[in-house]
Amino acid sequence: MALNKRERKNTELKVALAGNPNSGKTTMFNELTGSRQHVGNWPGVTVEKKTGRAFYQDYSLEVIDLPGTYSLGAYSEDEVVARDFLTAGDYDVVLNIINSANLDRNLYFTVQLLEMGVDLIAVLNMADEAEKKGIKIDKNKLSQLLGTPVVETVASRGRGIDNLLEQTVQNRDLSEASLKINYGSDIEDLISEVVEMLKQYDFSQQINQRWAAVKLIEHDPEAVKLLEREVGASKAKKIKSLIAERELKAEDDFDNVIIDKKYEFINKVIAESVQRPTADEEPENVSDKIDAVVTNKYLGIPIFMAVMWAIFKFTFTLGDPLIGYIETFFEIAGGWIGTQLLEIGVSPLISSFITDGIIGGVGSVLVFIPNIFLLFLAIGVLEDSGYMSRAAYVMDKVMSKLGLHGKSFIPMIVGFGCNVPGVMATRTLDSKRDRIISILINPLMSCSARLPVYVVFAGALFSSHASTVVFSLYLMGIVMAVIMAGIFNKILFKGERSHFVMELPPYRFPTLKGVIIHMWEKVGAFLKKAGTIIFSVVVLIWVLANLPLGVEYASAESFIGQFGQLVAPIFAPLGFGSWQAAASLVFGILAKEVVVGTLGVVYAAGEGGLRTALLANFTPLAAYSFLTMVLLYTPCIATLGAIKSETQSWKWTLITASYLFVLAWITAFVIYQGGMLLGIGV
Amino acid sequence: MPLAMLRQGETACIKEIVGGRTARGKLTDMGFVSGKTVKIHRSSGGPLIVGLGDNRIALGRGMAHKVIVDNKGCEN
């Protein structure tokens, strides 16, 4: 595919990682690029290509990690990302990461790439697992049969990486020859005829003609579309009807024959290059034993609930004391800086900007770094260990009642970290209907940005029951998601069912390096958000609290006060009609942490800090109603942006933004008014 | 017979994949091809868990009806 290569310096290479899911691709990417990654790797699923940089000798390699895919067939959006990148050909070498212990299925993808003429290095990863199973692979023989270099690695232990880099650099200009599989005389004759016909058209000079012919004979929708676009519908029809005519005469459908021949070729390659122990019956492995318990009909769901509870406890029990330290730090720092500024004669306005605005606003958000750190650590471990897909399997029972299947549950778990990757993770669902419903309910999964709001309120108003109150909000989010999915399933879509096939990878111990990279990225992203969006909004609010000139800081007469008063009546029936609460919710749409930031700024004037101010301004019932609102109402702009780009539709984006607001308002109303009638928490 | 009709613990040989283009494509991508041995690891109401060599795959009942197997097992 050298034709599309862009001009690059001799010492610069563009290298893509491609392969089956669970072949250790992301581990390899981390191993090659370390922390030099440009795009964040969200825990959960790789659904977008990521780039990083690796250095070897004098060479600088741009490394691209593609979403895992089983073939070039591309049945879901994440696979389309990988396929489009691979067919566009803007790279020097593809490192095809192969799970050595699982050669036959992995080679199916390798063979497809080689047929297309991709310059690739076959990377036999997880070589240690193959060894443990007694699988012996003759690398030289395999390389000869496939006609491409073969390298052995164990990415999780950093074994073979230097050799891989050496081979990558040396093989940057592989031969243009592509792999040819003999598809039998019927199909081979047809291939020649189709190639002859394609040769008439200019576009075919840019592609591998044999490969294009095979794809057309397989009725590959993308290939047919390309042909129609390039030569027009009527000329394309000539080729299509030739294929249809031959297929009618043949015994079997051509696409079946082509698949069978590919596997036949792979079986031959394996027979000649791989030695396996001849065990009659595979013994049950450790993963099977764990699965016997974890996926049990009766135990599955309780175990999953226990895991979620454990994650929750882990995040809070470990995080709380740390929060205390950071809080104390900001209090002392704020006080000290305030006095210093006054002593050196800085104007009270600037002093207020620094202590009330920046420390009161941004500081009140930064306090939550430990919780966010721990939460993402837990979600990362959940994914890397292999449990995530078991959770999806177990939850299929619940999800199928909603017209979804278990796989739709993975984006929901990812959403507990952040709704943006949660929405993106729906790409792995292949039916449009499943995707839309999953996107619509994803914001109901309580993300890490809402956590600071819960913790501040729960700490101030529900001291002894704080963790129960917060956990109840998480549960409320899940229950609402289930209810809404059921409703959307009934009113929006009917009939369409999708295919449920999902691999359950063997359980693995997460690698320390992978987990640390995950966490570092998350904390980095959080700090960046605090330094950009949250900082700007907090500054804006501080300014609005000081205008018009001469007004008392953060009073009802300030701009922010006037604005809050304008909006407040909407929230009055919910128990929090103060202008401060109203303003914090409106600005919270920019980023949910801003709810705390805003309250920090506008209440900073009071003595004793935010907690005391909340205690004075909210009853426990009103606080719970407020938290319900924060949980359920309109998602932040970043999530709305993700919804827009994933659905390609303003309609769905606006529906999500508005239905959630209505749902939040009604739920908070019922809770507050119901509580008032019963006299709870008033 | 369709794979969905096997009982837990049973082993069979894949004969053929039926159904629409997408369903067939997804199944063959995952390694469901004629001549391979499959084992039912779990069949308890919900989706099946089947073993295909060392791979474990969760398979919805609908999909499991598209995999036609012979419960006498594969030759050789």
Q: Which has more pLDDT, B49 or A599?
A: B49
Chain B CA closest to residue A507: B56
CB–CB of A291 and B41 under 8 A?
yes
Evaluate if residue A174 carries a pLDDT over 80. no
Which of helix, strand or coil describes residue A380?
Answer: helix
Q: What is the 3-state secondary structure (H, E, C) of A39-89?
A: CCCCCCCCCCCEEEEEEECCEEEEEEECCCCCCCCCCCHHHHHHHHHHHHC
Cα separation, A480 vs A654, in Å, equals 19
Q: Domain range for residue B11?
A: 3-70
Q: Which has more pLDDT, A280 or A120?
A: A120
Q: Return the bridge partners of A64, or none.
A: A16, A51
Q: In this structure, is residue B59 part of a structural domain?
A: yes
Q: In this structure, is residue A176 part of a structural domain?
A: no
Domain count, chain B: 1
- Mark whether A238 and A267 lie in a shared domain: yes
| C-beta of residue B37 within 8 angstroms of C-beta of residue B75 | no
CB–CB of B63 and A288 under 8 A?
no
- Number of CB atoms found within 10 A of residue A432's CB: 13
Residue spans of alpha helices (H) in A117-253: 127-132, 139-146, 161-170, 185-199, 209-217, 221-231, 233-249
Render A283-334 in DSSP notation, one character per residue: PP-HHHHHHHHHT-TTTHHHHHHHHHHHHHHHHHHHHHHHHHHHHHHHHHHH
Q: What percent of chain A has pLDDT over 70?
A: 94
Q: In this structure, is residue A83 part of a structural domain?
A: yes
> Averaged over A400-429, what is the pLDDT?
86
DSSP-assigned letter for residue B6? S
> Averaged over A454-467, what is the pLDDT?
85
Longest Cα–Cα distance in chain B = 33
Q: Which has more pLDDT, A404 or A17?
A: A17
| C-beta of residue A672 within 8 angstroms of C-beta of residue A621 | yes
Least CB–CB distance from B31: residue in A105, A255, A393? A105
The pair of three-digit structure tokens given for residue A15, joined into one six-digit string: 């290298």
Q: Is A472 an interface residue toward B (CB < 8 Å)?
A: no
Cα separation, A283 vs A182, in Å, equals 37
DSSP-assigned letter for residue A6? P
pLDDT of residue A3: 40
Q: In this structure, is residue A178 part of a structural domain?
A: no
CB–CB of A499 and B60 under 8 A?
yes
* Residues of A with Cβ-Cβ distance to B74 under 8 angstroms: none
| Single-letter residue type at A469 | V
pLDDT of residue A596: 86
Summarised one tens digit per residue, pLDDT across range A30-45 is 889 876 555 443 444 5
Q: In this structure, is residue A231 part of a structural domain?
A: yes
The pair of three-digit structure tokens given for residue A634, joined into one six-digit string: 């309109």
Interface of B with A (CB under 8 A): 21-23, 25-31, 33-35, 41-42, 44-47, 49, 51, 53-60, 62-63
Summarised one tens digit per residue, pLDDT across range B7-53 is 999 999 999 898 888 888 889 989 998 888 999 999 887 899 999 98
CB–CB of B63 and A499 under 8 A?
yes
Q: Is A295 an interface residue toward B (CB < 8 Å)?
A: yes
CB–CB of B30 and A503 under 8 A?
yes
Q: Closest approach of chain A CAs to the CA of B1, in angstroms? A: 19
Evaluate if residue A604 carries a pLDDT over 70. no
Chain A CA closest to residue B27: A501
* Residues of A with Cβ-Cβ distance to B28 under 8 angstroms: 259
> Averaged over A468-480, what is the pLDDT?
90
ipTM of the complex: 0.93
DSSP-assigned letter for residue B3? G
A339-347 own/partner pairs: CB under 8 Å, 24+ apart? none
Cα separation, A371 vs A523, in Å, equals 10
| C-beta of residue A247 within 8 angstroms of C-beta of residue A116 | no
CB–CB of A501 and B63 under 8 A?
yes
Residue ranges of the binding site of A for Mg(2+) = 30, 33-34
Q: In this structure, is residue B31 part of a structural domain?
A: yes
Q: Smallest Cα–Cα separation from A534: which of A378, A367, A666, A410?
A: A367
Least CB–CB distance from B28: residue in A259, A405, A506? A259
Summarised one tens digit per residue, pLDDT across range A333-384 is 878 887 888 888 777 778 778 877 777 777 777 878 888 888 888 888 888 8
Q: Domain range for residue A232?
A: 185-275
Q: In this structure, is residue B75 part of a structural domain?
A: no
Q: In this structure, is residue B76 part of a structural domain?
A: no
CB–CB of B33 and A291 under 8 A?
no
The pair of three-digit structure tokens given for residue A500, joined into one six-digit string: 């449920």
- Mark whether A117 and A212 lie in a shared domain: no
Least CB–CB distance from B46: residue in A397, A499, A503? A397
Q: In this structure, is residue A180 part of a structural domain?
A: no
| C-beta of residue A117 within 8 angstroms of C-beta of residue A178 | yes
| Single-letter residue type at A563 | F
- pLDDT bracket for residue A682 (50, 70, 90): confident
Q: In this structure, is residue A502 part of a structural domain?
A: no
- Mark whether A357 and A429 lie in a shared domain: yes
> Averaged over A58-73, what is the pLDDT?
90
Domain count, chain A: 3
pLDDT of residue A279: 60
- Mark whether A307 and A397 lie in a shared domain: yes
- pLDDT bracket for residue A519 (50, 70, 90): confident
Checking DSSP bridges between strand B11-17 and strand A501-503, what pairing results, if any?
unpaired
- Mark whether A217 and A131 lie in a shared domain: no
Q: Which has more pLDDT, A192 or A517?
A: A192
Summarised one tens digit per residue, pLDDT across range A548-591 is 877 777 777 888 888 888 888 999 899 888 888 998 999 888 88
CB–CB of B34 and A255 under 8 A?
no
Q: Smallest Cα–Cα separation from A631: which of A660, A666, A602?
A: A660
Summarised one tens digit per residue, pLDDT across range A629-657 is 999 999 988 889 889 988 888 999 999 99
**Test mutation, B38, B48, B54, B63, chain A, max A CBs within 10 A:** B54
Q: Closest approach of chain B CAs to the CA of A226, in angstroms? A: 19
- Mark whether A343 and A446 lie in a shared domain: yes
Chain A CA closest to residue B16: A256
- Mark whether A38 and A85 lie in a shared domain: yes
Q: Is A500 an interface residue toward B (CB < 8 Å)?
A: yes
Peptide bond preceding A510 in cis form (omega within 30 of 0):
no
pLDDT of residue A43: 40
Q: In this structure, is residue B37 part of a structural domain?
A: yes
Out of A116, A138, A170, a domain closes at A170
CB–CB of B62 and A405 under 8 A?
no
- Number of CB atoms found within 10 A of residue A147's CB: 13
Contact residues for A431 (Cβ-Cβ < 8 A; gap 6+): A496, A497, A498
> Averaged over A305-324, what is the pLDDT?
83
Q: In this structure, is residue B40 part of a structural domain?
A: yes
For chain A, give the number of residues: 682
- Mark whether A468 and A357 lie in a shared domain: yes
Q: Closest approach of chain A CAs to the CA of B20, in angstroms? A: 11
| C-beta of residue A419 within 8 angstroms of C-beta of residue A445 | yes
Render B47-68 in DSSP notation, one character per residue: -EEEEETTEEEEE-HHHHTSEE
Q: In this structure, is residue A514 part of a structural domain?
A: no
**CATH code at B63?**
2.30.30.90
pLDDT of residue A631: 95
- Number of CB atoms found within 10 A of residue A274's CB: 17
Residue ranges of the binding site of A for GTP = 19-26, 44-48, 65-68, 125-128
* Residues of B with Cβ-Cβ distance to A291 under 8 angstroms: 41-42, 49, 56
Q: Smallest Cα–Cα separation from A255: which of B19, B58, B4, B50?
A: B19
For chain B, give the number of residues: 76
- Mark whether A366 and A331 lie in a shared domain: yes
- pLDDT bracket for residue B57 (50, 70, 90): very high
Q: In this structure, is residue A606 part of a structural domain?
A: yes
**Test mutation, A20, A80, A502, chain B, max B CBs within 10 A:** A502
- Mark whether A538 and A447 lie in a shared domain: yes
| C-beta of residue B38 within 8 angstroms of C-beta of residue B74 | no
| C-beta of residue A652 within 8 angstroms of C-beta of residue A658 | no
Which of helix, strand or coil describes residue A182?
Answer: coil
**Test mutation, A83, A394, A401, A500, chain B, max B CBs within 10 A:** A500
- Mark whether A640 and A524 lie in a shared domain: yes
The structure tokens 């003759």 sit at A138
- Mark whether A269 and A336 lie in a shared domain: no
| C-beta of residue A615 within 8 angstroms of C-beta of residue A558 | no
Which of helix, strand or coil describes residue A12?
Answer: strand
Q: Closest approach of chain A CAs to the CA of B7, in angstroms? A: 15
**CATH code at A197?**
1.10.287.1770
> Averaged over A287-309, what is the pLDDT?
89
> Averaged over A157-170, what is the pLDDT?
91
Q: Smallest Cα–Cα separation from A95: which of A183, A159, A172?
A: A172
Contact residues for A584 (Cβ-Cβ < 8 A; gap 6+): A594, A595, A596, A598, A599, A602
The structure tokens 């741009």 sit at A62
